[in-house]
Structure 1
Amino acid sequence: MTPYIIIIAGPTAVGKTALAIEIAKRLDTAIISADSRQCFGELGIGVAKPSATELQQVQHYFIDSHSVHDNVNAVVFEQYALKATNDIFSKHNNCAVMVGGTGLYIKAFCEGLDNIPDVPEDIRQKVTTAFEEKGLQWLQQEIQEKDPAFWAVAEQQNPQRLMRALEVWYATGQSIEAFRIAHKTQRPFKIIKIGLELDRPLLYDRINARVDIMMQEGLLEEARALQPLQHLNALQTVGYREFFNFFNGEYTLEQAIDMLKQNTRHYAKRQLTWFKRDPAIQWFQPAQVNEIMQYISAQTGGWR
């Protein structure tokens, strides 16, 4: 029987983790996280990592698997996830679950990586120097003006990815989106894609409430402990940058919390924009567990 992997995607705070655990328990299998930040062992509250109780219920891969000092990207994830998939298939009757909101990672796993051209070192240095002198706001403005297609789906608070896109534009005069691969890599397993969505007001209320819970759980203290590492790429992300700005005197604490809520809402909107472009995703509400299981059964011929 052809092995299969169930991918659960969608915006932050929509309920992906709970659904993935429920499905994995019903199918007696394990989970691969497709989150570009939860893999870092030093990060916790700010990346909404599954709780210790949740991690005990089902084996998870790509959680606490790397350090913030490691260079983790889509290439690393693709290789890691393919190896993890084979491991899970061998132990759990050819079935695995993947869950996350990092669209580029999921795309790399399903289709292979894009053929993005090499950038001359002088251009790379030009972009790096300009960013160091002019800051994130300049970088964001450059991408908005020169590569609006990428800006619409980009992690807009992540300078490394923004710089990469700007480098490609300077080198080629084209959007980094123009280099997306035309021929998808064929994987030796069936992929079932499930998307979770909520009405936007409800999703935004959940995001705001989750930030408040994070603050109660100690997010401020976690960010303060990570402040010496704020220069690392892994820390250039929503959930920590806002508090680094507070520690550096740029925001009040109230402003930092408000910015975190706002940036997370914007990130959720970009995630939905990315995933909605994929016609293979079947969309559900997070509470439709039975309907989702029926869909999975139909896609696999009911052999589970």
Structure 2
Amino acid sequence: MTIKKQFNNLHAKNLISVVGPTGIGKTRLAIDLAKHFSTEIISCDSRQFFRGMEIGTAAPSAEELAEAPHHFIGHLSVQEYYSIGQYEEDALQKLNELFKTHGTVILVGGSMMYEKALIEGLNDLPEADEENQKKLQDILENEGIEKLQGLLKELDPEYFEVVDFHNHRRLLRAIDVIWQTDKKYSEQIAVSQDSRDFNVIRVGIEAPREDLYDRINRRVDIMMENGLLDEAIGLEKYKDLTALKTVGYTELFKYFEGEWELDFAVSEIKKNSRRYAKRQLTWYRKADNIYYLPLGYSQNDLDGLIKHINEQT
């Protein structure tokens, strides 16, 4: 699509959502598409919202950020609490702003619920119940996060398959809502309540699982070479904050506390990253509207994707 054609069809708002598991190469594809369409990129990677976590979250490099304008990358302090509802509101506002000058905008990230929040909208779920939250907090403090994980797995195995079960806030929220409504959380967030006035085209990259896992393992090694250990040292004082309860940091904090050896901590980062990728694959496998490129896609593959996108707009 030429720039001229793009601007002559501004009434046709198109959001290209680049999805896929961690480590598959979404950043590069998003930039390639942004450059082709002369447009900008919105991130829905909730880990990359926070400054100071660039290495551990594989945030776009300075060179990549210079290739295309990005939004929602490092715009928050790790000390800030930022809910999915706030993201939905902020990202919709930014998207509508970008649609004033661009017929096409790129969305990219592997945080499944954040993509869903922007492209579909989330159900109007009940506010947190104070009594439930107190019960759950007591369970967390006295019996550990494993007890909450077991509770959620029993109450809603479908949501447990895709949730970041190391994030206690996600567990508390889901169990609270299930207790209040007597319905599975996965069912309640599956139905969109908000209409969207833009066309969504979902694209991704696929690879054999062993190739993906090899990429993840190598990426963790590269992170360590690039200074992940020093980055984690600088963030250790924030280890109890939500932003830092994520893969790549929680394992190194255990090393700092003397609980684990460094080699074991790094192996756990790799293992937990692979587990997260598996949950992402489970989520995306349920969708039938994703156009996939192969890992290491060629220019011909990219041209085929562009043709597919143009046919959908």
Corresponding residue SS for 1:66:
coil
Give the counterpart letter for 1:58 in structure 2.
A
* Match of residue 32 from structure 1: 42
* Match of residue 48 from structure 1: 58
Corresponding residue SS for 2:88:
helix
Q: RMSD of the TM alignment (CA)?
A: 1.8
* Match of residue 251 from structure 2: 242
Q: Cα offset for 1:88?
A: 2.3
Q: Is the 8 A contact 2:51 2:77 kept in 1?
A: yes
Paired with 1:45 and 1:263, the residues of 2 have a C-alpha distance of: 16
Paired with 1:180 and 1:155, the residues of 2 have a C-alpha distance of: 16
Give the counterpart letter for 2:76 in structure 1.
H
Q: Cα offset for 1:100?
A: 0.5
* Match of residue 118 from structure 2: 109
Corresponding residue SS for 1:45:
coil
Paired with 2:129 and 2:170, the residues of 1 have a C-alpha distance of: 17
* Match of residue 67 from structure 2: 57
* Match of residue 295 from structure 1: 305
* Match of residue 109 from structure 2: 100
Paired with 1:74 and 1:302, the residues of 2 have a C-alpha distance of: 28
Q: Cα offset for 1:302?
A: 8.6
Q: Does residue 93 of structure 2 align to residue 74 of structure 1?
A: no
Q: Is the 8 A contact 2:122 2:192 kept in 1?
A: no
Q: 1:193 to 1:175 in 2, by over 3 A?
A: same
Give the counterpart letter for 1:233 in structure 2.
T
| Aligned partner (choices 227, 232, 236) of residue 223 of structure 1 | 232
Q: Cα offset for 1:292?
A: 4.1
Q: Cα offset for 1:183?
A: 4.2
Q: Is the 8 A contact 1:13 1:206 kept in 2?
A: yes
Paired with 1:141 and 1:251, the residues of 2 have a C-alpha distance of: 24
1:144-197 Cα deviation digits (max 9, x unpaired): 233212111111211110121122233333321121253453212111100222
* Match of residue 131 from structure 1: 140
* Match of residue 6 from structure 2: none
Bigger mean CA deviation after superposition, 34-43 or 274-283: 274-283
Corresponding residue SS for 1:264:
helix
Q: Does residue 278 of structure 2 align to residue 269 of structure 1?
A: yes
Q: Is the 8 A contact 1:116 1:176 kept in 2?
A: no
Q: Is the 8 A contact 1:192 1:296 kept in 2?
A: no
Q: Cα offset for 1:274?
A: 1.1
Give the counterpart letter for 1:279 in structure 2.
D
Q: Does residue 205 of structure 2 align to residue 192 of structure 1?
A: no
Q: Does residue 180 of structure 2 align to residue 171 of structure 1?
A: yes
Q: Is the 8 A contact 2:124 2:193 kept in 1?
A: no
Paired with 1:301 and 1:144, the residues of 2 have a C-alpha distance of: 41
Corresponding residue SS for 1:32:
strand
Give the counterpart letter for 1:110 in structure 2.
I
Corresponding residue SS for 1:8:
strand
Paired with 1:182 and 1:101, the residues of 2 have a C-alpha distance of: 20
Q: Is the 8 A contact 2:34 2:41 kept in 1?
A: yes
1:14-37 Cα deviation digits (max 9, x unpaired): 000011111111111111111001
TM-score, with length taken from structure 2: 0.91
Paired with 2:24 and 2:63, the residues of 1 have a C-alpha distance of: 19
- Unaligned 5+ segments in structure 2 are 1-8
- Unaligned 5+ segments in structure 1 are none
